[in-house]
Amino acid sequence: MKPKILLINPTITSARSARFPLAVLTLAAAVEARYASRIIDGNVDRGFVMTALDAVVSERYAAICITVMGGPQLLSAIAVSKAVRIAAPLTPIIWGGYFPTICPDAALNSSHVDFVIRGQGEDALLELLALLEAGGEPAAIEGLSWKDESGHAVHNPDRRFSAAGLARQPLRYDLIENPGQYLKATYLGRRTAGYQAALGCRYRCSFCGVNAMFQGKTALPAAERLAHDLGVLKQQLGADSITFYDHNFFDREAEMLPLLEVLAKFEMPWWCFARSDALLNLSDHAWALVRKSRLRMAYIGAESPSAEMLRDMRKGTQPEQTLAVVEKCRAMGVTPELSFMLAPPHDPEGETERSFDFIRRIKRLHPGTEIMLYIHTPLPPRLHGGSHAKQRPVQLLRDSAGRPVVYPDSAAGWAQPQWVDYWCHQDAPWLSPRLRRRIQDFTTVLGCRFPTITDIRAPAWQRALLRTAATWRYGREHYDRPWELDALKRFVRLWDPRLASL
Ligand code: B12
Ligand code: SF4
C-alpha cells in the first residue's frame, strides 16, 4: 500500500465562495504514483481543524502539507498547524504557496512548521517526501527552506521553473467531497468553474507575488490538454462557464491561437486576467475567436495613471494603453475590469487623487468599466535573496508618522489584522487616517454610482436606487462622508467584487 499524505487547504473564504482547491489537487496529482492523498478543504468543511485532528490521530501520514496564501488564510493555517503538531508531534509539517514563498523566514519562525517549499511545489514535495522516508541531505532540494540542528533557517537555492505540470495526469476531482459544490452561480453562468490552463507569467512586475513564484517564466498547455480538461468540467461536472486563474491569460498570439480555437469551440462564457498591451496587440483573427468563445470580462492591471509609477513597478505598460484597451474592450463586447494600486509610499495622497481623476476619465469613456481599488503594498523583501530581493529596501518605507516600517518576522506577526490588510492590499502604514477615510469614501461613492455587474443578488431596483442616490456626489466630486450612502448600504448590501469576482 502507498504511504499517505494529508493535504490541507485552510479556510480562506466563505463556503458560498469556495472554489476548487487547486493547489492541493495539483499536489495530489503530482505525487499520485508514489503517495495516496487525503484532502481537507477548510472552505467547505468549516470544522476542518477538528477533521484534521481526527485524521492524524486515526491514521499515519508521511507528512502534513498545508497551502498558505498571505492574508486571512494565515490565521486558519496557523490554527490547524498548531493543532496537528500537538496531536501528531512526530509528523512533519510542510508549508507551501505564496506566503511561505515570499516570507520563508517568517513561515519557518515557529514550532509548528518544519519545512517550507518555495515556488512550484510538485517536484520539490516529491523530493522532500523521499528524503523524509529514506533520509538524505535537505540541502540538495532546490526551493526548500528548512531548519538546521540549531534551529536556524536554511534557504536552498530557488528551484528553476518547470513546465512538467502541464504534462501530468489531469486533476482528480474525486479526491474532494462532492466536486459539484464548487461550481457556483456567477454573472458568467449558473455553474462557473475555476480552472488554470497555463503556468506562470513572463513579466516581473515588482509588486506581484507571481514574480517571486515563477521568476518571469511561463508555459502554455497543449490545445488537447485544454480541450480534455474543459470537456471534463463541462460533461462530467456540469460546468457552463469558466473563471480562468491563469496569472496572465493572453500570452504571445502565435502560441495562444490554438487555445483560443479550443475556447471558441466550447463557447462557455469566461473571465480571465489579462494585460492591456497583449489585448491591444491581438490580431482581428484572434479577436474574432475571443468573441466567439464568449469572453465576458478581462481583469486588467491598470495600476496607476502615471507612466513613471508604472516604470517603477516594472509593469511594462503605459497609461495610454489603459485608455485604449477600455475602448477596444467596449468595441469587442468585453467588460474591462481595471485594478488600481492607490497610495504608493512615495506620494500616497498625490497618486491617489490622480488615480481618482483617471478613473473618472475612464468612466466617461466607458461607464461599464469595472474598477477594483487596492492599496499599493510592496512585497516585503526576501532578506536571503531571490527574485524580488532587489526592490526598494525596507528602511526607506516610513509610516504616516515618519517612523520606519518594520515588517513582521513571524507568521503570527503577519496574521495581525493590520498585516492581513497589508497583504490583501487594503491598508498600509503610510496611509494617514484622512487618506484612509478619503479612499473609503471614494470607494463607496463610486461603488454606489456604478454598481458592479458581478453582483447577481441585487435586484434591478436596488441597483437603480444606489445609482440615483450617488449621482449628485459623484457628479460634484463630493466624496467626503457619504453618510446617506453608508445608511443605504445597511439595507442594500454593496457587493465587493474584490472578494467575489473570482
Ligand atoms: C483562487 C484564488 C483565490 C481564492 C482562494 C482559493 C482557495 N485557496 O480556496 C480567493 C478568492 C479566496 C483568493 C483570495 C485572495 N487572494 Co488569491 N488567488 C487565487 C488564484 C486566482 C488561483 C489560486 C490557485 O488555485 N492557483 C493554482 C494552484 C495550482 O497554484 P498555487 O496555489 O500557486 O500552488 C502551487 C504553488 O504555490 C505550490 N504550493 C501551494 N501550496 C502548497 C503547499 C505545499 C505543502 C507545497 C509543497 C507547495 C504548495 O505548489 C502548487 C503547484 O505548483 C491566484 C492566482 C493563481 N493563478 O494562482 C490568486 C492569488 C494566489 N491570490 C493572491 C492574493 C494576494 C489574494 C488575497 C490574499 C488578496 C487579494 N487582494 O486578492 C485574497 C484574500 C482576500 C480575502 N479577503 O479573502 C495573489 C498572491 C500573491 C501574493 N502577494 O500573495 C495571487 C497570485 C493573485 C495575484 N496575481 O495577485 N484567491
Ligand atoms: S502583475 Fe500580472 S503581468 Fe505583472 S507579474 Fe504579476 S501576473 Fe504577471
Q: Is residue 444 a part of any domain in this protein?
A: yes
Q: Whose CA is nearest to atom 4 of ligand 2?
A: 205
Q: Which atom of ligand 1 is nearest to the CA of 426?
A: 71
Same-domain pairing of 368 and 241: yes
Sign of torsion over alpha carbons 261, 266, 267, 269: negative
Same-domain pairing of 40 and 140: yes
Same-domain pairing of 339 and 264: yes
Query: pLDDT, tens digit, for every residue of 4-50?
Result: 999 999 999 999 999 999 999 999 999 999 999 999 999 999 999 99
Residues with CB under 6 A from ligand 1: 9, 12-13, 19, 21-23, 26-27, 43, 65-67, 69-72, 94, 96-98, 117, 120-122, 125, 194, 196, 208-210, 245, 247, 423-425, 499, 502
In single-letter form, the type of residue at position 134 comes to: A
Query: pLDDT, tens digit, for every residue of 93-143?
Result: 999 999 999 999 999 999 999 999 999 999 999 999 999 999 999 999 999
Ligand 2 centre distance from Cα of residue 180 (Å) = 31
| Total domain count, the chain | 3
Mean pLDDT of the chain: 94
Question: Which pLDDT score, from 0 to 100, does residue 389 have?
Answer: 43
Q: Is residue 272 a part of any domain in this protein?
A: yes
243 phi/psi in degrees, rounded to 5: -100, 110
Helices (H), 192-345: 209-214, 223-231, 253-266, 276-281, 284-293, 307-312, 319-332
Same-domain pairing of 362 and 274: yes
Ligand 2 centre distance from Cα of residue 217 (Å) = 11
Same-domain pairing of 369 and 235: yes
Q: Is the confidence at residue 500, as pLDDT, over 70?
A: no
Q: Is the pTM of this model over 0.75?
A: yes
- The answer to whether residues 311 and 204 touch, using CB atoms and an 8 Å cutoff, is no
Question: Which pLDDT score, from 0 to 100, does residue 169 have?
Answer: 87
345 by DSSP, 3-state: which? coil
Confidence bin at 392 (pLDDT 50/70/90): very low
Set of cell numbers at residue 247:
496569472
Q: How many C-beta atoms surround the C-beta of residue 221 within 10 A?
A: 22
Query: pLDDT, tens digit, for every residue of 198-213?
Result: 999 999 999 999 999 9
Same-domain pairing of 131 and 205: no
Distance from C-alpha of 395 to C-alpha of 398, rounded to nearest angstrom: 8
Q: Is residue 424 a part of any domain in this protein?
A: no
Ligand 2 centre distance from Cα of residue 208 (Å) = 6
Domain C-terminal end among 125, 147, 169: 147
The stretch 75-99 carries a mean pLDDT of 98
- The answer to whether residues 291 and 320 touch, using CB atoms and an 8 Å cutoff, is no
Set of cell numbers at residue 229:
480538461
Same-domain pairing of 136 and 230: no
Q: Whose CA is nearest to atom 6 of ligand 2?
A: 208
Ligand with smallest separation from the Cα of 74 = 1
Query: pLDDT, tens digit, for every residue of 231-274?
Result: 999 999 999 999 999 999 999 999 999 999 999 999 999 999 99
Place of cell 468540467: 233
The stretch 357-362 carries a mean pLDDT of 98
Domain C-terminal end among 122, 147, 172: 147
Q: Is the confidence at residue 348, as pLDDT, over 70?
A: yes
> For the domain that residue 216 is a member of, what is the CATH number?
3.20.20.70
Q: How many C-beta atoms surround the C-beta of residue 335 within 10 A?
A: 20
Same-domain pairing of 191 and 311: yes
The DSSP secondary-structure symbol of 396 reads G
The DSSP secondary-structure symbol of 9 reads E
Q: Which of 101, 196, 199, 205 to mutate to test the pocket of ligand 2 (most atoms within 8 A of CB)?
A: 205
Residue range(s) defining the domain that contains residue 365: 183-379
Same-domain pairing of 216 and 281: yes
Same-domain pairing of 133 and 62: yes
Q: Is residue 275 a part of any domain in this protein?
A: yes
Place of cell 517536484: 123
The stretch 400-419 carries a mean pLDDT of 97
Confidence bin at 381 (pLDDT 50/70/90): confident
Q: Is residue 410 a part of any domain in this protein?
A: no
- The answer to whether residues 164 and 120 touch, using CB atoms and an 8 Å cutoff, is no
Query: pLDDT, tens digit, for every residue of 301-333?
Result: 999 999 999 999 999 999 999 999 999 999 999
Q: Is residue 458 a part of any domain in this protein?
A: yes
Confidence bin at 390 (pLDDT 50/70/90): very low
Q: Is residue 407 a part of any domain in this protein?
A: no
Question: Which pLDDT score, from 0 to 100, does residue 395 have?
Answer: 53
Confidence bin at 492 (pLDDT 50/70/90): confident
Which residue, among 358, 368, 232, 218, has the nearest Cα to 296 in the 3D structure? 368
- The answer to whether residues 219 and 252 touch, using CB atoms and an 8 Å cutoff, is no
Q: Is residue 490 a part of any domain in this protein?
A: yes
The stretch 363-391 carries a mean pLDDT of 80
What percentage of the chain reaches a pLDDT higher than 70?
95
In Å, the largest CA–CA distance within the chain is 70
Q: Which atom of ligand 1 is nearest to the CA of 68?
A: 41
Q: Whose CA is nearest to atom 53 of ligand 1?
A: 120
Distance from C-alpha of 295 to C-alpha of 166, rounded to nearest angstrom: 23
- The answer to whether residues 21 and 39 touch, using CB atoms and an 8 Å cutoff, is yes
- The answer to whether residues 450 and 408 touch, using CB atoms and an 8 Å cutoff, is no
Bridge pairing between strands 63-67 and 4-9: parallel
Angle at which helices 122-134 and 22-31 cross, to 10°: 50
Q: How many C-beta atoms surround the C-beta of residue 71 within 10 A?
A: 20
The DSSP secondary-structure symbol of 302 reads E
Same-domain pairing of 134 and 187: no
Same-domain pairing of 135 and 187: no
> For the domain that residue 113 is a member of, what is the CATH number?
3.40.50.2300
Q: Which atom of ligand 1 is nearest to the CA of 165?
A: 53
Q: Is the confidence at residue 470, as pLDDT, over 80?
A: yes
Q: Which of 5, 12, 19, 69 to mutate to test the pocket of ligand 1 (most atoms within 8 A of CB)?
A: 69
